[in-house]
């Protein structure tokens, strides 16, 4: 038997159904990743449109493009969309899903049907919450939705119910994905890939997944309490009856602060794979960087009340949280200097992906420095809730999350499509976006220091804010042009780009050892791994070719995937993976019905819909893997 | 046939238990935030429960939680029996656990309804968190019962490695729920301290 | 058209108190250090581009980890030791020294108390120990430590006058306090700094820091009941106010108007602005406000009354007479 025969058998074994049904029923992590990718791009466009409307309204004092009611919906939906419906699903859903199994030498995620369910729930939650916009009742109390403003007394109607239910619904998708990633990273690594031989990308996604798993419940509890207060008449947040206004804020930020690390840590993971490829050097101080990626999220759970320094908490509490916030700086500075030293001690080739990473480092450091300023509590108490903090978090989010996402799009474009992108338009798109975002966000520091609060639908003349706002708005248009150029480049390259081959960059990790685009089964032979830079281990790759020719570790008897021990990566057993299935989308639809009925306050109907969910779960678990020996 | 892997073929129960561990971690954290909220509200209050709201009963809930916790024994024994392919032992152990669990839930639902006649979640923050925390625990017990019934139905057609995994996973879930119930009851009863 | 509120800016970097001054100085130092840090990292990236064809550092150029030793030095030195030092220094200065003067003052260290209550969408100010109640424009004596007690009548607001001190949120069920102190006479602008609904953007306030004697005169006048109308037009305005919808939402002390939804209007005539600094207090603007408040502050609690201009004229005359 030869390699070609094995590959053909695997091809038959792993083939998806043809056509649309194949996409609807898919459990293949690559297809699911692509579904997430396109869906989040549409939602990114929505969030971007919201931003452009905000910026245009603020171009000069006292404009009337939109009134306050619409403006309040715009800034709320912009925040909710960008965080829950762009960054998280793009990094974890798109990049994570597509790349994680490839990087660890696996054929799919640990729970492929659950993975598909995550996507359909995500899509359902996006449709759910955007329905509110089309009905003119979008959430309007800010993305962190403070009570009492978000209580029924001050926000009657369905807007905040859309928020509560939409957030819980969306959170289900992220929780399932997080659990899936953790088990995949711990158990499905190729035999030989011990914990310290994982690519840094995997450390980053593991950290982010733990973060999601432990942070989301706090948000769920918060929104459950608010939904109950608004619709059943409970008093969690009602001070008159023993409730607490600040309880909302504590629960929110216990989620919200880890969330912002969850936003950027996967992007760190993307950056730490682009850097080795374009410097042809392993990352400096690898063990420190790996630990730092885990520590950032871990310490990030202890700093939440730094979002509440102006609420009148006791001084000792305030000082504790300032100290914890100080601690979280160190893992970030470790990573920044490790990346810079890798640039310096390697042969840095500033192609488009690496340009975006250089831009990311610049923006992340700028945003991080203003973040450090916030641990000076009196200064925080001056500039919190102003444009200074908007500048800070946009430098971080746009700089540290979006720039690596853009760089990653270019970097892995050849792997996903089999084509090369056009380099010159790529570089131009970088510079336009870099200039645009700096013009957009830098003046926000100035105007915040000059006293402009956030979430104001307009502002008066005569306070010196007009010029900066004008610059910011122009910056937003320039950024949009750059992003359109980037996306246009990728589209044109898809149709007209030259063929890329398996390994155009001589990248470091396992995805570059397989064809572009990858076959359904990813790896014909489960790779032999001795380091975190497997593609550069020439002898191991030769061993793989030998094994394939001999049929060793080909696992073609079924839909098979090896399972390893979590720390040492020793081969434990073979798992039979599920094939395409309709149950994920069916269950997602059943869950959507539950949430719609809750929104409409049809409690009896909700009970029936929950029964429907149970039935879907029963059907799902009615499919059992084939037994060859019981 | 790929000979290297021939000897180690199985249907993959291991991953399912990891998956349940993820669910348990997430739910435990959810309850952790409920409990944290309970104490946050408590330490902001002068009187807990507030005047006019009855204190929880101590002895009966504690005993019942203990009784529920004993079902971890038959659940674990059922998993071990299934692993040794002792199908009838597994079925009987599951039935034993189910009878106790159903008895527990029936009593608790009745008691929940009785308590609602004397105070409502809409009275004040104490009753809001009390009924929510307790109700959430009961929901998890109910789900656990559904899981055991499902297991018994699956086992009607015999044992396979997949179904062995199912028994192990449901046993794990029940250990978590039993521990959770003890904690929740302890928290709610701490109001009397 | 809509002016800045006739005086006063909100510039955190133009401090007029010890507190705001310390915070501003802290910022300048942090900014200098930050620019240094950003320049350093940018420099490293540029350096990487300049020597992009060379691997490693100095003699250490071979193998899969060229220059690794130097790399570790930089990562540990610049990534751990140096930031830790800077952060500890920053922490000590700001969160041990400065924070003690920006947190709530000991009530005994202050000379007087003012109560600020946030409403959707205006500020009411009371002077305990007197009957004085006003809205949106607060007077304090210069060089005096004022204990400002901030509360809310509805949702979370935030009291913020940047040139005088940091902000303090108003939380339902809580009494939060900060020090209000101005070291120079003048007008200082502030604004609500916690999103509180539709007209959060138009919830500004002015703090007038006056010499002690002038302040005392102002306070005496402010505490006194409303001046009786003197002209026929003003009397007509008073009748319209008390018999019409106005008195159901507004209070004018010394009359039967005791509404508490909208701001106290007892001495409206002596204020410089209207509607939370949205428009100046002139007869023409006041007339336009009374006719169509939704035009200036859409969504605010005062409905468009569509009164005939003659009635509006009388009301304006009366209200402007309330000095």
Neighbour count for residue A442 (Cβ, 10 Å): 16
Contacting residues of C for A375, CB less than 8 Å apart: 87, 90-91, 94-95
Among B193, B190, B192, which Cα is nearest to B35's?
B190
Neighbour count for residue B152 (Cβ, 10 Å): 14
Distance from CA of C236 to the nearest CA of A (A): 35
The whole-number pLDDT of residue C60 equals: 86
What the block records as the tokens of C107 is: 């009530």
The whole-number pLDDT of residue C7 equals: 67
- Whether a cis peptide bond, with omega within 30° of 0, leads into A211 is no
Is the pLDDT at A495 greater than 60, yes or no? yes
Q: Please say whether the beta carbons of B97 and B78 come within 8 A.
A: yes
Size of interface A-C (CB pairs under 8 A): 292
Q: Is A65 on the interface with C (CB under 8 A)?
A: no
The whole-number pLDDT of residue A623 equals: 81
Q: Please say whether the beta carbons of B68 and B181 come within 8 A.
A: yes
pLDDT in tens, A103-148: 999 999 999 999 999 999 999 999 999 999 999 999 999 999 999 9
What the block records as the tokens of C191 is: 């604004």
**In C103-259, which residue ranges form alpha helices assigned H by DSSP?**
212-223, 232-243, 246-249
Is the pLDDT at A630 greater than 60, yes or no? no
Reduced to 3 states, what is the DSSP secondary structure of residue C141?
strand
CA atoms lying within 13 Å on the CB side of residue C267: 22
* Interchain contact, C90 vs A376, CB within 8 Å: yes
The kind and range of the H/E element at A340 are helix A315-345
Residue A107 CA to residue A528 CA, distance in Å, equals 14
Residue C236 CA to residue C221 CA, distance in Å, equals 24
Partner residue opposite A563 with nearest CB, options B14, B34, B37: B14
Residue A64 CA to residue A387 CA, distance in Å, equals 21
Is the pLDDT at B7 greater than 70, yes or no? no
Residue C28's Cβ-count burial label (10 Å; 0-12, 13-18, 19+) is exposed
Q: What's CA C268's distance to the chain center, in Å?
A: 20
Partner residue opposite A310 with nearest CB, options C120, C158, C201: C158
Q: Please say whether the beta carbons of A582 and A203 come within 8 A.
A: no
Residue A110 CA to residue A186 CA, distance in Å, equals 10
| Size of chain A in residues | 630
What the block records as the tokens of A456 is: 């104001």
Neighbour count for residue B28 (Cβ, 10 Å): 15
How do beta strands C122-126 and C112-119 pair? antiparallel
DSSP C187: E
pLDDT in tens, A201-249: 999 999 999 999 999 999 999 999 999 999 999 999 999 999 999 999 9
CA-only gyration radius of chain A, Å: 25
Among A146, A160, A164, which Cα is nearest to A248's?
A146
What the block records as the tokens of C120 is: 């959707």
The whole-number pLDDT of residue C26 equals: 96
- The ipTM value here is 0.95
Spatial CB neighbours of B84, under 8 Å, sequence gap ≥ 6: none
Q: Please say whether the beta carbons of A440 and A468 come within 8 A.
A: no
Q: Please say whether the beta carbons of A410 and A426 come within 8 A.
A: yes
Q: Is C16 on the interface with A (CB under 8 A)?
A: no
Size of interface A-B (CB pairs under 8 A): 157
Q: What average pLDDT score do residues B89-94 get?
A: 97
Is the overall model pTM greater than 0.90, yes or no?
yes
Q: Which chain B residue is nearest to residue A230, measuring alpha carbons?
A: B122
* Interchain contact, B132 vs A234, CB within 8 Å: yes
Q: What average pLDDT score do residues B48-62 get?
A: 94
Distance from CA of C303 to the nearest CA of A (A): 16
Neighbouring chains of A at 3+ CB pairs under 8 Å are: B, C
What the block records as the tokens of B39 is: 């104490």
Is the pLDDT at A628 greater than 70, yes or no? no
What proportion of chain A, given as a percentage, has pLDDT over 90?
Answer: 94
Contacting residues of B for A565, CB less than 8 Å apart: none
Reduced to 3 states, what is the DSSP secondary structure of residue A463?
coil
Q: Would you place residue A1 in the very low, low, confident or very high pLDDT band (cuts 50, 70, 90)?
A: low
Among A44, A168, A174, which Cα is nearest to A117's?
A174
* Interchain contact, A281 vs C75, CB within 8 Å: no
Averaged confidence pLDDT in chain A: 96
Partner residue opposite B23 with nearest CB, options A179, A222, A254: A179
What the block records as the tokens of A609 is: 């819909």
What the block records as the tokens of C42 is: 């940018």
**In chain C, which residue ranges form alpha helices assigned H by DSSP?**
18-50, 68-76, 82-92, 99-102, 212-223, 232-243, 246-249, 283-291, 293-296, 309-320
Residue B177 CA to residue B137 CA, distance in Å, equals 8
Spatial CB neighbours of A122, under 8 Å, sequence gap ≥ 6: A36, A39, A85, A89, A93, A170, A173, A174
The whole-number pLDDT of residue A470 equals: 98
CA atoms lying within 13 Å on the CB side of residue C18: 14
* Interchain contact, A379 vs C30, CB within 8 Å: yes
Q: Is A567 on the interface with C (CB under 8 A)?
A: no
Q: Is A149 on the interface with C (CB under 8 A)?
A: yes
Judged by average pLDDT, the poorest of A14-18, A292-296, A387-391 is A14-18
* Interchain contact, B33 vs A218, CB within 8 Å: yes
Q: Please say whether the beta carbons of A11 and A101 come within 8 A.
A: no
Q: Would you place residue B54 in the very low, low, confident or very high pLDDT band (cuts 50, 70, 90)?
A: very high
pLDDT in tens, chain C (323 residues): 344 445 688 999 999 999 999 999 999 999 999 999 999 999 999 999 999 999 998 888 888 899 999 999 999 999 999 999 999 999 999 998 899 889 999 989 999 999 999 999 999 999 999 999 999 999 999 999 999 999 999 999 999 999 999 999 999 999 999 999 999 999 999 999 999 999 999 999 999 999 999 999 999 999 999 999 999 999 999 999 999 999 999 999 999 999 999 999 999 999 999 999 999 999 999 999 999 999 999 999 999 988 999 999 999 999 999 99
Contacting residues of A for B123, CB less than 8 Å apart: 235, 241
Q: Is A330 on the interface with C (CB under 8 A)?
A: yes
Reduced to 3 states, what is the DSSP secondary structure of residue A592?
helix
């Amino acid at each position: 038997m030869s390699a070609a025969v094995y590959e053909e058998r695997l091809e038959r074994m792993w083939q998806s159904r043809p056509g649309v049904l194949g996409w609807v029923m898919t459990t293949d992590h690559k297809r699911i990743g692509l579904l997430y990718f396109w869906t989040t791009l549409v939602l990114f466009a929505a969030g971007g449109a919201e931003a452009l409307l905000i910026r245009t309204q603020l171009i000069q004092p006292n404009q009337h493009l939109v009134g306050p009611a619409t403006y309040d919906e715009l800034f709320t939906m912009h925040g909710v969309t960008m965080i829950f419906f762009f960054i998280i699903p793009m990094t974890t859903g798109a990049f994570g899903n597509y790349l994680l199994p490839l990087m660890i030498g696996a054929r799919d995620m640990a729970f492929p049907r659950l993975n598909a369910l995550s996507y359909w729930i995500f899509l359902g939650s996006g449709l759910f919450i955007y329905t509110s916009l089309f009905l003119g009742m979008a959430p309007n109390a800010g993305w962190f939705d403070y009570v009492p403003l978000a209580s029924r007394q001050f926000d009657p109607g369905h807007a905040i119910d859309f928020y509560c239910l939409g957030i819980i619904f969306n959170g289900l998708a992220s929780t399932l994905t997080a659990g899936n990633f953790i088990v995949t990273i711990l158990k499905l690594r190729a035999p030989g890939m011990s914990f310290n031989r994982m690519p840094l990308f995997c450390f980053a996604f593991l950290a982010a997944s733990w973060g999601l798993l432990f942070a989301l419940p706090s948000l769920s509890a918060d929104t459950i309490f608010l939904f109950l207060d608004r619709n059943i008449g409970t008093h969690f947040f009602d001070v008159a009856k023993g409730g607490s206004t600040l309880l909302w804020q504590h629960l929110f930020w216990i989620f919200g602060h880890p969330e912002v690390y969850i936003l950027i840590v996967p992007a760190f993971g993307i950056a730490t794979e682009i850097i080795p490829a374009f410097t042809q050097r392993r990352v400096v101080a690898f063990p420190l960087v790996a630990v730092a990626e885990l520590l950032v999220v871990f310490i990030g759970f202890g700093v939440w009340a730094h979002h509440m320094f102006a609420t009148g908490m006791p001084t000792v509490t305030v000082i504790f949280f300032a100290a914890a916030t100080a601690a979280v700086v160190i893992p970030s500075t470790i990573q920044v200097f490790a990346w810079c030293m890798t640039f310096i001690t390697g042969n840095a080739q500033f192609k488009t992906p690496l340009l975006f990473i250089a831009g990311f480092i610049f923006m992340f450091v700028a945003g991080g420095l203003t973040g450090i300023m916030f641990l000076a509590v009196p200064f925080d108490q001056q500039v919190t809730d102003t444009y200074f903090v908007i500048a800070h978090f946009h430098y971080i989010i746009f700089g540290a999350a979006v720039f690596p996402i853009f760089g990653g799009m270019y970097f892995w474009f050849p792997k996903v499509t089999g084509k090369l992108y056009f380099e010159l338009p790529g570089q131009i798109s970088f510079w336009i976006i870099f200039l645009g975002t700096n013009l957009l966000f830098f003046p926000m520091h100035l105007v915040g220091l000059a006293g402009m609060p956030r979430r104001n639908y307009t502002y008066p003349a005569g306070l010196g804010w007009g010029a900066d706002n004008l610059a910011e708005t122009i910056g937003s248009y320039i950024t949009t042009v750059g992003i359109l150029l980037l996306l246009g480049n990728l589209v044109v390259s898809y149709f007209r780009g030259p063929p890329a081959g398996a390994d155009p960059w001589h990248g470091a990790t396992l995805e570059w050892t397989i064809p572009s685009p990858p076959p359904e089964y990813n790896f014909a032979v489960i790779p032999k791994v001795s380091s975190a830079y497997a593609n550069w281990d020439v002898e191991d790759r030769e061993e793989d070719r030998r094994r394939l020719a001999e049929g060793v570790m080909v696992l073609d008897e079924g839909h098979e995937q090896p399972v390893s021990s979590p720390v040492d990566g020793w081969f434990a057993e073979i798992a039979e993976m599920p094939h395409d299935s309709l149950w994920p989308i069916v269950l997602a639809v059943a869950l959507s019905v539950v949430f719609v009925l809750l929104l409409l306050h049809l409690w009896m109907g909700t009970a029936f819909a929950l029964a429907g969910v149970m039935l879907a779960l029963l059907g799902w678990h009615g499919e059992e893997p084939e037994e060859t020996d019981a | 046939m790929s000979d290297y892997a021939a000897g180690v073929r199985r249907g993959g129960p291991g991953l399912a238990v990891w998956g349940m561990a993820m669910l348990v971690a997430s739910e435990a954290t959810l309850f952790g935030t409920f409990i944290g909220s309970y104490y946050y509200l408590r330490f902001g209050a002068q009187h807990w429960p507030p005047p006019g709201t009855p204190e929880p009963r101590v002895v009966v809930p504690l005993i019942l939680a203990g009784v529920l916790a004993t079902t971890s024994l038959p659940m674990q024994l059922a998993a071990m029996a299934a692993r040794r392919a002792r199908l009838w032992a597994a079925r009987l152990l599951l039935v034993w656990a189910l009878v106790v669990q159903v008895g527990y839930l029936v009593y608790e639902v009745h008691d929940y309804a009785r308590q609602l006649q004397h105070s409502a979640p809409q009275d004040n923050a104490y009753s809001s968190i009390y009924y929510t925390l307790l109700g959430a625990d009961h929901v998890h017990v109910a789900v656990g019962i559904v899981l055991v019934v499902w297991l018994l139905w699956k086992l009607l057609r015999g044992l396979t490695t997949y179904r062995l995994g199912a028994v192990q996973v449901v046993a794990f879930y029940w250990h978590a729920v039993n521990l959770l119930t003890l904690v929740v009851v302890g928290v709610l009863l701490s109001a009397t301290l | 058209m809509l002016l800045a509120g006739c005086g006063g800016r909100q510039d955190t970097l133009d401090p007029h108190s010890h507190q705001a001054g310390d915070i501003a100085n802290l910022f300048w130092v942090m900014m200098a250090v930050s620019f240094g840090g950003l320049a350093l990292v940018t420099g490293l990236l540029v350096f990487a581009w300049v020597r992009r064809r060379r691997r490693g550092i100095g003699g250490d150029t071979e193998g899969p980890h060229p220059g690794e030793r130097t790399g570790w030095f930089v990562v540990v030195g610049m990534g751990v030791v140096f930031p830790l030092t800077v952060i500890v220094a920053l922490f000590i200065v700001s969160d041990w020294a400065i924070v003690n003067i920006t947190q709530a003052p000991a009530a005994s260290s202050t000379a007087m108390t003012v109560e600020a209550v946030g409403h959707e969408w205006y500020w009411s100010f009371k002077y305990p120990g007197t009957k004085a109640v006003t809205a949106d424009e607060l007077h304090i004596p210069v060089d005096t430590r004022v204990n400002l007690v901030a509360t809310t009548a509805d949702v979370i607001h935030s009291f913020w006058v940047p040139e005088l001190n940091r902000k303090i949120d108003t939380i339902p069920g809580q009494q939060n306090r900060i020090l209000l102190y101005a070291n120079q006479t003048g007008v200082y602008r502030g604004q609500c700094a916690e999103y509180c609904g539709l007209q959060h953007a138009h919830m500004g306030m002015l703090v007038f820091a006056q010499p002690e004697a002038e302040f005392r005169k102002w306070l005496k006048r402010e505490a006194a009941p409303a001046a009786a109308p003197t002209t026929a037009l003003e009397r007509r305005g008073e009748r319209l106010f008390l018999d019409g919808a106005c008195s159901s939402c507004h209070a004018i002390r010394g009359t039967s108007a005791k509404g508490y939804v909208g701001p106290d209007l007892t001495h409206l005539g002596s204020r410089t602005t209207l509607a939370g600094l949205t428009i100046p207090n002139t007869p023409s603007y006041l007339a336009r406000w009374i006719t169509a408040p939704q035009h200036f502050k859409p969504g605010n609690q005062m409905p468009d009354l569509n009164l005939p201009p003659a009635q509006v004229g009388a009301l304006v005359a009366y209200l402007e007479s309330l000095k």
